[in-house]
Chain A
Amino acid sequence: MAVVTSARAVPRRRRFDRSRAAGVLLVLPSLVYLTLFVFIPVIKAFATSFTVRDRDDAGNYTYRVGLDNYAQLATSDTLRANVIFTVFIAVTSVAIVFVIAYVIALALRFGKGPTAKLLGRIYIVPLFIPSVIASYAMITFLANHGFVDGILQAFGLPDGAFPKIVFDWKGIVITQVWLSLPFMTVLLSSVLLEISDSLIESARDVGASSWQIFRHIVLPLSAPGALIGVTFMFLGVIGGFTVPYLLGPNAPQMLGVSMVYYMTNYFEPYIASTQAVAIFMLSLVAAVYYVRQQFKREIR
């Protein structure tokens, strides 16, 4: 009896080992990739941000561990302004994109006319235009004496009355909105498509107006999906470089741009790393929020 049992157990264990080995092999490439290109750099950046470089009278550098970089980030007017500016840009762009995308998604979901159909075809266009191209297009389009200014001046707008958009926060926001709109609209559209007609019809049946249906049925049912979109876009704008680099003002700067300047122009990798950690932390807030929403949803 015992012999039979063990004879059976041996091949079973071997089979189990083989499938486990296959599992490890499948995970290995991505694990190596993540370790080399994500985990190690993140840890290095963290370590660098806690490294303080002192220069003595003889001009020699000494290194120690300390919080000086963070103190500088908090107290330096320029750096603090950069952090606030970054959050401001991210929140503003996300809010504007969310509202516009939601309106378009509602039109696509509930609209029936040819306008809705046309809208459904063209809103996707910016998705296929690289951000560098879009940024330069925005510059020629919105600059003072640019395309729009030119047209307005032809209609009598005095020279110099056109607001400063390019090389200003407005330029970043407009371009980010333009670039992120398709993604957010696609996402919200699919979220709204998931709400079945009968849920809306049953609300009408008990007497709800269009506004009441939106407020009590459509909005709460689309909220979980919408928050995913908001989180991802927030992350994208917080860490963005191309758009603020090409369209942003010289001061304040978004953290992505400022970080590169500190790294390459001012040769301050320690402050640059500290700013990287700041971006990371801001992203973390969004990520934690996202995970908590997902968790709540699963409990439901």
Chain B
Amino acid sequence: MAEVELRHVTKGYKDTTAVDDVSLAIKDREFVALLGPSGCGKTTTLRMLAGFIRPDAGQILIDGRGVTDLPPEHRPTAMVFQSYALWPHMTVADNIAFGLRLRRLPQAEVADRTARMLDVVGLPGVTKRYPSQLSGGQQQRVALARALVLGPKILLLDEPLSNLDAKLRVRMRDEIRRIQQELQITTVYVTHDQEEALTMADRIAVMNRGVLQQVGDALDIYDRPATAFVADFIGSSNLLTGTLRLAGARPVAQVGDARIPVEADGLADGAAVTVSARPEDMEVLREAAPDAFRLDDTRLVNFGAYKRLLGRHPAFGQLEARVPKAFRLGDEPVYLRFTRARAFAGDERPRG
């Protein structure tokens, strides 16, 4: 059993608020990803969980017990650092055994647990080597073993795969998930890579500028983004700014002199809104139709499995639609229809 709870946790530095009133409850054995762009406060949040940073306000609880004032050496958490942080003057075995030796465990038990943990991370037979003699992926596994050997209640990972090449990253992703499942350990994973978050985590907590934007599983986050930022950060979206009109049969967003039908839950008539539509929610037509907008300066970008159609509209600026790989541009004009668009409060684009 190991649950974690953040209650209204806030941390500020000189002139910025790194983490702004974040509340998040993580269930036992759950794998939660903290996802966001750099500087969004996800690493600060993780370091507060580990005890390296003390929050200015709010509480952190592990299994209902307040740990806010406990230093890292007295918390039942173990952290895997972005740079692995293996001690270069110690062998692999000594790195893993260091925490066990500090607890004065018998020599035989230390050796036994070290070997068993190397098996778990799939790295037997390297005990006598030094970290500099291992590849990045191997070092990552040693770092994981070192964190897990003490049997922590909570595993914290700070962008653990960002220093690996793309292929290895995908493999280690599955490895970390497998180990987490095998040991049934509550895990918090910080990443800026949405693919990592979507594929590994049970739930994803999206952060931006210190504020927790949305917490949900991969489907929630992708299909039902709570804010324009989430809509844009997860996957990609066409983002437009306009005004909400609720007078007609369906809510529409007025963007320039064009009107787009939108989903707008709980927003008032006349509100300034950001409209978000995914490229796959754009229907491509070859002839004019109601609600369809003509694109100029069209071009195609090939992504292998599919293509992206890019073009300009006088009211919206650049628009993007996902099209099949067989799609070709002819001489005839191309029209786009918004099959699904969402309106979010606020007229500021979340980028930057």
Residues of A whose CB lies within 8 Å of any CB of B are: 196, 198-199, 201-209, 212, 216-217, 220-221, 300
Interface CB pairs A-B, < 8 A, 20: A198-B81, A198-B83, A198-B85, A199-B87, A201-B85, A202-B79, A202-B146, A203-B98, A204-B52, A205-B72, A205-B79, A205-B147, A206-B98, A207-B74, A207-B150, A208-B73, A208-B102, A209-B73, A221-B87, A221-B89
Given A199-B87, A221-B88, A221-B89, A207-B99 contact (CB < 8 Å):
yes
How far, in whole Å, are A221 and B130 apart by their CA atoms in the complex? Answer: 14
How far, in whole Å, are A201 and B46 apart by their CA atoms in the complex? Answer: 13
Does B132 touch A at the CB level, under 8 Å?
yes
Which residues of chain B have C-beta atoms less than 8 A from A198's C-beta? 81-83, 85
Does B328 touch A at the CB level, under 8 Å?
no
Q: Are B87 and A196 in contact (CB under 8 A)?
A: no
> Chain B's nearest CB lies how many Å from the CB of A215?
11
How far, in whole Å, are A220 and B89 apart by their CA atoms in the complex? Answer: 7
Q: For the complex, count residues of B whose C-beta is within 8 A of A.
A: 26
Residue of B88, B89, B103 near A207 (CB, 8 A) is B103
| Per-position binary interface string of chain B over residues 73-96, scored 1 when its CB falls under 8 Å from any chain A CB and 0 otherwise | 110011101110111110000000
Q: Which residue of A lies closest to B71 (CB)?
A: A204
Does B50 touch A at the CB level, under 8 Å?
yes
- Per the 8 Å Cβ criterion, residues 47-86 of B in contact with A are 50, 52, 71-74, 77-79, 81-83, 85-86
> Chain B's nearest CB lies how many Å from the CB of A226?
13
Q: Are B103 and A203 in contact (CB under 8 A)?
A: no
How far, in whole Å, are A120 and B130 apart by their CA atoms in the complex? Answer: 35
Q: Are A201 and B98 in contact (CB under 8 A)?
A: no
Residue of B71, B81, B89 near A202 (CB, 8 A) is B81
> Chain B's nearest CB lies how many Å from the CB of A171?
39
Q: Which residue of B lies closest to A209 (CB)?
A: B73
Q: Are B87 and A203 in contact (CB under 8 A)?
A: yes
Q: Are A212 and B85 in contact (CB under 8 A)?
A: no
How far, in whole Å, are A256 and B88 apart by their CA atoms in the complex? Answer: 42
How far, in whole Å, are A8 and B74 apart by their CA atoms in the complex? Answer: 73
Q: Are A199 and B85 in contact (CB under 8 A)?
A: yes
Contacts across chains A and B counted by CB atoms under 8 Å: 60
Interface of A is mostly: helix
- Per the 8 Å Cβ criterion, residues 97-119 of B in contact with A are 98-99, 102-103
> Chain B's nearest CB lies how many Å from the CB of A137?
42
Give the most central of B52, B72, B147, B150: most A CB within 10 Å.
B72
- Please name 6 further chain A to chain B contacts, defined as beta carbons within 8 Å, in addition to the given A202-B146, A207-B150, A208-B99, sorted by A numbering: A201-B85, A202-B86, A207-B99, A208-B98, A209-B73, A217-B87
How far, in whole Å, are A206 and B155 apart by their CA atoms in the complex? Answer: 12
Give the most central of A203, A206, A212, A216: most B CB within 10 Å.
A206
How far, in whole Å, are A208 and B102 apart by their CA atoms in the complex? Answer: 7
> Chain A's nearest CB lies how many Å from the CB of B310?
42
Q: Are B132 and A207 in contact (CB under 8 A)?
A: no
Q: Which residue of A lies closest to B74 (CB)?
A: A207
> Chain B's nearest CB lies how many Å from the CB of A299?
11
How far, in whole Å, are A209 and B99 apart by their CA atoms in the complex? Answer: 11
Which residues of chain A have C-beta atoms less than 8 A from B52's C-beta? 201, 204
How far, in whole Å, are A206 and B74 apart by their CA atoms in the complex? Answer: 9
How far, in whole Å, are A212 and B147 apart by their CA atoms in the complex? Answer: 18
Q: Are A300 and B83 in contact (CB under 8 A)?
A: no
Which residues of chain B have C-beta atoms less than 8 A from A202's C-beta? 79, 81, 85-87, 146
Which residues of chain B have C-beta atoms less than 8 A from A196's C-beta? 83, 85
> Chain A's nearest CB lies how many Å from the CB of B216?
30
Residue of B78, B87, B89, B130 near A205 (CB, 8 A) is B78
How far, in whole Å, are A199 and B86 apart by their CA atoms in the complex? Answer: 7
Q: Are B78 and A206 in contact (CB under 8 A)?
A: yes
Give the most central of B77, B87, B146: most A CB within 10 Å.
B87
Q: Are A207 and B73 in contact (CB under 8 A)?
A: yes
Q: Are B72 and A204 in contact (CB under 8 A)?
A: yes
How far, in whole Å, are A204 and B147 apart by their CA atoms in the complex? Answer: 12
Q: Are B98 and A204 in contact (CB under 8 A)?
A: no
- Per the 8 Å Cβ criterion, residues 167-212 of B in contact with A are none
Q: Are A205 and B102 in contact (CB under 8 A)?
A: no
Q: Are A206 and B99 in contact (CB under 8 A)?
A: yes
Q: Which residue of A lies closest to B79 (CB)?
A: A205
How far, in whole Å, are A217 and B89 apart by their CA atoms in the complex? Answer: 8
Q: Which residue of B lies closest to A217 (CB)?
A: B87
How far, in whole Å, are A201 and B77 apart by their CA atoms in the complex? Answer: 13
Given A201-B72, A300-B130, A300-B132, A206-B85 contact (CB < 8 Å):
no
> Chain A's nearest CB lies how many Å from the CB of B158?
9
Which residues of chain A have C-beta atoms less than 8 A from B72's C-beta? 201, 204-205
Which residues of chain A have C-beta atoms less than 8 A from B86's C-beta? 202
Q: Which residue of A lies closest to B77 (CB)?
A: A205
How far, in whole Å, are A201 and B73 apart by their CA atoms in the complex? Answer: 9
How far, in whole Å, are A221 and B98 apart by their CA atoms in the complex? Answer: 15
Q: Which residue of A lies closest to B132 (CB)?
A: A300
How far, in whole Å, are A209 and B72 apart by their CA atoms in the complex? Answer: 10
Which residues of chain B have C-beta atoms less than 8 A from A300's C-beta? 130, 132
> Chain B's nearest CB lies how many Å from the CB of A19?
35
> Chain A's nearest CB lies how many Å from the CB of B96?
10
